[in-house]
A and B are shown apart, each in its own frame.
Chain A
Amino acid sequence: MAGYVVRRVLGMVLLLFLLTLTVFVLFSLMPADPARLTCGKACSPAIIENNRHRLELDIPPIEQYQRFVAGIFVGRTYLKDTARPLECEAPCLGYSFLRNQEVLAMITKAAPVTFWLAIGGFVTWMVIGLVFGVVAALKRGRWQDRTVMGIALVGYSLPSFFIGLVLFFFVVLIWHLLPIPQWTSGMPFANPGKFFQTMLLPWITIATLNAAFYMRLTRNQVLEVFGEDYVRTARAKGLPERIVVVKHALRAGLTPIVTAAGLDLAYLLGGAIITENIFNLPGLGSLAIGSVLASDLPLITGITLVAAALIIVANLVVDLLYAVVDPRVRVG
């Protein structure tokens, strides 16, 4: 087990390194010229060249990459040869000259919004998906099963931009059941009531599609496990049906689901672009959209890096968890 953990962690470090390289290459090759974007229409070539130097874009790409990686570990200083140098402390993910802010500072400001959005949505869809999926499996072919599968089909067919807009339109604008969502700093602890009013619809929006997906996944998993020989063995031992279902069938059937869920959560933590935009939540998704629209390269790079790192780490956590739950994975 220890060897397995060490190998997986080393693999993850290598992967993160490759990630920085990929992200850097990807965005260095973008057609937009960041230096050109720093000033408006009345811009002379001299000013552009000057800005190019200030942004450190006039040095060879290899060196740019070195400074980028060095910034993450030891920090870096922009505008060294000017009167007002910019100190960016480690871990420095870059500096957005468009917004005159450090990338990391913007990300850490947006991250809590996305975090609470993702966690709330995740809990909602997992509870709904697992409960309804298990009920459907236990009542296979009966009306409960058909109802759940019908709901799943509808949920499946509702894209989040549609359900988000419909909810917002009716619940907020027409029926005035909820105030217009407004994220304020200090949420959720400063103002829990307002927090829930703001987040309820975004959570539903995010949970709908995933809940539908997890209902079907859970149902199929559980049904498959019910056909397994070891479930029959558990019955043959004379165990009560409740223990057969919970300890033998669900334990084995839900394990792969929970691990799949871990990855979905990590993906969501990288920013829920559509939902955040519909409900005006200043999370990572909104930040990402803003950065792309403005061609804010350092910010795009930073967000991509964080989102991808989240997924890599989640992948590792999920695999390690799986090894804890399923003894067959603990090899060598």
Chain B
Amino acid sequence: MINMERAEGRAERSPDREFLSIENLGVTFNTEDGVVRAIDGVSLSLERGKTLAVVGESGSGKSVTAQAIMGLVKSQGGHVTGEIWLDGQELNRLAADEVQALRGSEMAMIFQDPMSSLHPFYRVGDQIVEAILAHRKIGKTAARKETLEMLKHVGIPAAERRIDAYPHQLSGGMRQRVMIGMALINSPQLLIADEPTTALDVTVQAQILDLISTLKQEFGTTVILITHDLGIVADVADQVAVMYGGRLVEVGQTSVIYDQPEMPYTLGLLSSIPRMDRELPKRLDPIRGNPPSPINLPPGCVFQPRCNYSDRVRDGACLSVRPELLPTAPDHLVRCHLPAEERRQISEEVRRILAGAVR
């Protein structure tokens, strides 16, 4: 019955939009050092049931984007502009309590560090039960039963015992499983995973990613996976959005981003993935320099100070003009001053060097 109501509501609101559609999203924070523009003009859309990977370095604005969707930025003193359409509903315009009602039921989030994301004073089972009771009027016993089912479902061994464990009694991988279970307990339509594997051992990382993929299939959840590691994206994501300096710099299908990347920053990210199946031509090739400070962004292209190819652009436009995010092919957007021909040529060269290492 609830689903029917939802369906009707959706039809009334805006039938022609994608399931998730972000339009010109901007987030600013007032700090003592001035206004920090954490995100500027981010527009994205995502079909129901698909997975979008948002990739970028620390400080690129990917986590802030996620928290803006969840409505968590305002409680941290941030100011959000633009539109966030989820399932036909514009979230940025909603009152705080209306967004709160959606959080944890329609959209849920998993955080980076499972060590600190669970409350140390409460049993993990109780924390999940709390998430259920926040959105549904069912009895505590029923909620606990459902929690136990979910813990089993996310692969926690001896769940009958672990349901009464405190977070510090569980390993990092177990805690992240608890977090995933907590996020999915109300069958949200959108799941945002903010670097869900960064704080975990490499062996556990693969398990957690597998778990997310499996559950996504099962629940039909739409997923946004935020990561700084392009290496884990390929098997999981349908679409990739690369962020830099609070902006999108390249957006496309996963295969496109891997096989025909055009933005020099994306090329840099791809070059810096350690590969076990290749003999490297030389040492790993990191992107030189550091991410820009959001308080003091460079003029022109924000990536220009770290770009190897900016001297190939005529008139020094990279130094003075902010490039636009423009389509270079269907469903492939790139923010770069280089002519498309030149970009493809550079991309070719880089990929040849990378591929040249294959034995």
Contacts and interface: CB of A to CB of B under 8 A. Distances in A.
Interface stretch (B1-9, B130-138, B228-236, B298-306): B130-138
Contacts of A234: 119
Contacts, number: 73
Contacts of B121: 251-252, 255, 325-327
A237 interface: yes
Given A230-B120, A325-B121, A236 B168 contact: no
A239 B133 CA distance: 9
A328 B167 CA distance: 9
A331 to B, nearest CB: 9
B226 to A, nearest CB: 14
Given A238-B134, A238-B135, A233 B118 contact: yes
B130 A328 contact: no
A58 interface: no
A229 B111 contact: yes
Nearest to B119: A230
Given A233-B119, A236-B70, A238-B104, A327 B109 contact: no
B101 interface: yes
Contacts of A230: 116-120
Interface in A213-241: 228-230, 232-241
| Tier of interface size on chain A | 20 to 34
Contacts of A239: 100, 104, 130, 134
A248 interface: yes
A123 B291 CA distance: 51
A237 B104 contact: yes
A232 B109 CA distance: 10
Nearest to B183: A236
A70 B254 CA distance: 84
B97 to A, nearest CB: 8
B101 A238 contact: yes
Interface in A311-332: 325-328
B57 interface: no
30 contacts: A229-B113, A229-B117, A230-B116, A230-B120, A232-B72, A232-B117, A233-B117, A233-B118, A233-B119, A233-B182, A235-B103, A236-B111, A237-B103, A237-B104, A238-B101, A238-B102, A238-B131, A238-B135, A239-B134, A240-B97, A241-B96, A241-B100, A252-B120, A252-B121, A326-B120, A326-B121, A327-B120, A327-B121, A327-B168, A328-B120
Interface of B: 70, 72, 75, 96-97, 100-105, 108-109, 111, 113, 116-121, 130-131, 134-135, 166, 168, 179, 182-183
Given A233-B179, A241-B96, 19 more contacts: A228-B116, A229-B116, A230-B117, A230-B120, A232-B72, A236-B72, A236-B109, A236-B111, A236-B183, A237-B103, A237-B130, A238-B103, A251-B121, A252-B119, A255-B121, A327-B121, A327-B166, A327-B168, A328-B168
- Which 10 residue pairs across A and B have the least CB separation, nearest first? A238-B104, A238-B103, A229-B116, A237-B104, A230-B119, A237-B131, A229-B117, A327-B166, A236-B109, A233-B117
Interface of A: 228-230, 232-241, 248, 251-252, 255, 325-328
